[in-house]
């Protein structure tokens, strides 16, 4: 059941991503993009949203690369080197896919308002949003599968989700991406994390398999011993 739900979510995500790309290519997202940008960049929100200029760096190439290395090292030290390699490789693949998407769509950066920072390259999908969703999504999966207390797991996963949302919002606030770019980045990142979670489900449980092995090996012997005791003839009186 769980695998079928994951498959449907992945297919839905791919469909949304393709639909967004087609809408962008045909210029159909412009009213939505302009409305959201106008709302986010209104003067009343300048002070509350100012910290986003710093938070946005958590989705940068440097930050997600460092995060990939940290996850790799932590999982290796925890006895899951293959899971760590899979996590780092997934972030690397997400970066390559983002570059491919940008080359395919070739959308120019927003010109609705003056950007607060200067970015080069194409706009769709947002690289910070996509890589941030992938990297912090992987961290959320690792936390959820850890042996931490339930409350700590929920808090950790919640922080990761909040960071993904704020990174995406920061790209609109800074004027370097359209909201549709961010939506596409989030969607692509979510699809990648779903596939990653499904592919690494078994890699996350090597210790369980090892600990179960002795019990499985001892089970037949115990069964034979019980059978032998039942088959012993009754003692003579």
Catalytic residue selected from 102, 107, 128, 171: 128
Residue 122 in contact with residue 106, Cβ under 8 Å? Answer: yes
Q: Which residues of 155-169 are buried (b: 16+ CB within 10 A; e: fewer)?
A: ebbeebeebbebbbb
Catalytic residue selected from 83, 177, 184, 190: 177
Greatest CA separation found in the chain? 103
Known catalytic residue: 177?
yes
Q: Quick one: tokens of 220? A: 């037949």
Residue 109 in contact with residue 115, Cβ under 8 Å? Answer: yes
Question: How far apart are the C-alpha atoms of 112 and 174, rounded to whole Å?
Answer: 12
Cis peptide before 125 (omega within 30 of 0): yes
Q: What DSSP designation does 78 have?
A: T
**Residues forming the active site:** 128, 177
């Amino acid at each position: 059941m769980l695998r079928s739900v994951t498959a449907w979510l992945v297919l839905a995500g791919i469909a949304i991503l393709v639909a967004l790309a087609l809408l962008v290519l045909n210029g159909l997202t412009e009213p939505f993009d302009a409305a959201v940008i106008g709302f986010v960049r209104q003067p009343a929100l300048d002070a509350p949203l100012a910290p986003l200029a710093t938070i946005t760096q958590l989705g940068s190439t440097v930050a997600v690369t460092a995060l990939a290395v940290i996850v790799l090292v932590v999982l290796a030290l925890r006895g899951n080197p293959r899971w760590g390699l899979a996590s780092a490789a997934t972030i690397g693949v997400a970066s390559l896919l983002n570059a491919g998407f940008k080359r395919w769509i070739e959308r120019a950066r927003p010109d609705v308002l003056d950007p607060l920072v200067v970015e080069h390259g194409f706009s769709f999908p947002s690289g910070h949003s996509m890589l941030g969703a992938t990297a912090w999504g992987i961290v959320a999966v690792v936390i959820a599968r850890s042996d931490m207390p339930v409350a700590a797991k929920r808090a950790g996963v919640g922080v990761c989700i909040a960071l993904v949302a704020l990174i995406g919002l920061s790209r609109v606030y800074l004027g370097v991406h359209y909201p549709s770019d961010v939506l596409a980045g989030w969607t692509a990142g979510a699809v990648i994390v779903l596939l990653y979670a499904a592919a690494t489900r078994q890699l996350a449980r090597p210790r369980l398999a090892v600990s179960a092995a002795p019990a499985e090996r001892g089970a037949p012997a115990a069964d034979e011993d019980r059978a032998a005791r039942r088959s012993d003839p009754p003692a003579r009186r």
